[in-house]
Amino acid sequence: MSNAVKTPSTQGVLHRLGGPEVRRHIRDLGWGGVRQVMSLITNGFMFVVLAREFDPETFGYYSAVIGIASLAGIVVNGWVGMVATENIIRDGEDPQRSMDSLSTWVTGLAVVALLVVAALAPVVVPGISIWVTMTFCAAIIVGQSVLWLAASIIQGVHDYAHASKYLVAQQALFLAMLIGIWLTGQLSLMTTGIAMLLSFVVMGAVCMRALPAVCGVTVRWRRGRRSDVARGGLYGASMLADAVEEDLDKPLLVSFGFPQDAGLYSVAFNVVTIGMLPLNAVAGSTHNQFLKHDPDAIGQHVRRSWKATKLAVAYAVVAAAGLVVLAPIVPMVLGEEYAEAVPITRVMSVLLVLRALNMFPFNGLMGLGRRGARTIVVVITSVVVIVLNLVLIPRYSWQGAAVASLIGEAVYAALCWAVLIRCQRAHDRVVRGRLRAEVSA
C-alpha cells in the first residue's frame, strides 16, 4: 500500500466550491449586501433631508423619538427572529408551532408597549407632539413586528436570502414614499412617520400572505409557550440592554437640557452607522452559520468567531480612518449649523473598531447555546453605560455620551471574548472527557 499523502482532486475541490452550501452562503451574503445598501440609501436620504430641513435642536428631538421607538421595538419584536430561527434551525421544530406561539406573544407585547409609550412620551420628549411620537412607535412596534415575524419564519424554513427580499422591498417602498413627500413639499416628522408606518404595514401584510405558499404556515393565535418567552426573554434582555447602550444617550441629552447637542451627536452617530453597514451585512448573512453546532467539535465557535473578527477589524480600521479624514464633509452636505458635528464624528469613529471586535464572539456564544451568558454580558455592559451616561452627560453633554459609549463598547468586547473562551473551554473539556471514556470502553 502506498504511503503517499492523498490530495483532493481538482474536480472534488471545484465541486465543493460550487456546492449548494457554498452557493447558498454566497447568495445570503449577496442579499445581506443588498439589504445594507438599500438601508444606506433609505436611511441616508432620510437623514440628509431631515437634517437639512430642521435645525440641530429639532433634529435632536427627532433622534430622541426614534430612540424611544427603537427601545420599545426591541421589547416587542427584537427577539422574535432569534427565537424563530433557533426553534426551526437548531431544534428542528415545526414552523407552524413557532408561529402559533410567537404571534400571540408579539400581539400582547405590542399592546402593552403602545400604552407605556403613550404614558411616558410627554415626559421624555415634551418638545414633540404626542401624535408624532406615537406614529413612529406604531410603525416600529406594530408594523415592524408583523414584517419581522413573518420574515423570521421564512428565514428559518428557507434561508436569509428569501427573508431579505421582503425586508428590502419594505425599505424600497419607504424610500419611494419619502421621495414623494419631499418632492411635493410635504416633508415633516409626521409625514415621515406615516410613510414608515405604511411601508411596514403593507410589506408585513404581503409577507404574511406569502407564508402559506412559501412555508406552509398560516397565521393563528394560540396559547403562547413559556419556553418561547423564556428563550426570547434572554434574547430580548440582551438586545434591550444593547439598545439602551446605543439609543438611550439621545433621549438623555434631550432630558438633561441639551437638545441641540443631541442633534449634533445624532448626526455624528448616523455618519458612523453608515460605516457599520458592511459589518451588519456580514453579521446578518452569517447568522444561520453561527447557529450550527457540532457537539463533538473542539474550539469550533472560538475559531469561527476569530476568523470573522479578523476580517471585520481590518475593514473597521480602514473605515474609521476614512471617517476621520472625511468628517468635514458633514457641514458641506447638511449646512454650516452642523459644523460642530465634525469633531464628534471623529471621536465616534473609534466605535467602528470596537464594534468589529465584539460582534462575532457574541454570535459565537449563541452557537454554543449560552443565551444566559450573552444576557449577563450585555446587562453588565449596559449598567456600566447607563451609570456613565447619568454621571457624565449632565456635566459634559455630548462628550460625556461619547465617552460612555466608547467605554461601554470596550467593556463589551472584553467580556464577549472572555466569556466565549471560557464557555468554549468548558464545552471542550466535556467533549474530551467523553472521547476518553469511549476509548477506555
pLDDT single digits (tens) 384-441? 999 999 999 999 999 999 999 999 999 989 998 998 888 888 877 887 777 777 777 6
The answer to whether residue 332 scores a pLDDT higher than 80 is yes
Rounded Cα distance between 316 and 190, Å, is 35
Q: Quick check: 119 pLDDT over 80?
A: yes
Q: For position 343, what pLDDT does the model report?
A: 93
Higher pLDDT among residues 291 and 144, named by residue:
144
Mean pLDDT (whole number) for 133-154: 88
pLDDT at 129 over 50: yes
Q: What percent of the chain has pLDDT over 70?
A: 88
The amino acid at residue 366 is M
pLDDT in tens, 168-203: 899 999 999 999 999 998 888 899 999 999 999 999
Q: pTM of this prediction?
A: 0.67
Helical spans, DSSP H, in 256-340: 259-285, 287-291, 300-326, 329-334
Q: Residue 35: pLDDT above 90?
A: no
Neighbours of 226 (CB within 10 A): 10
**Separation CA 208–CA 204 (nearest Å):** 6
Q: Are 142 and 203 in contact (CB under 8 A)?
A: no
Mean pLDDT of 206-216: 85
pLDDT at 252 over 80: yes
Average pLDDT score over the chain: 81
Is pLDDT at 341 greater than 60 in this prediction? yes
Q: Do 230 and 86 touch, CB atoms closer than 8 A? A: no
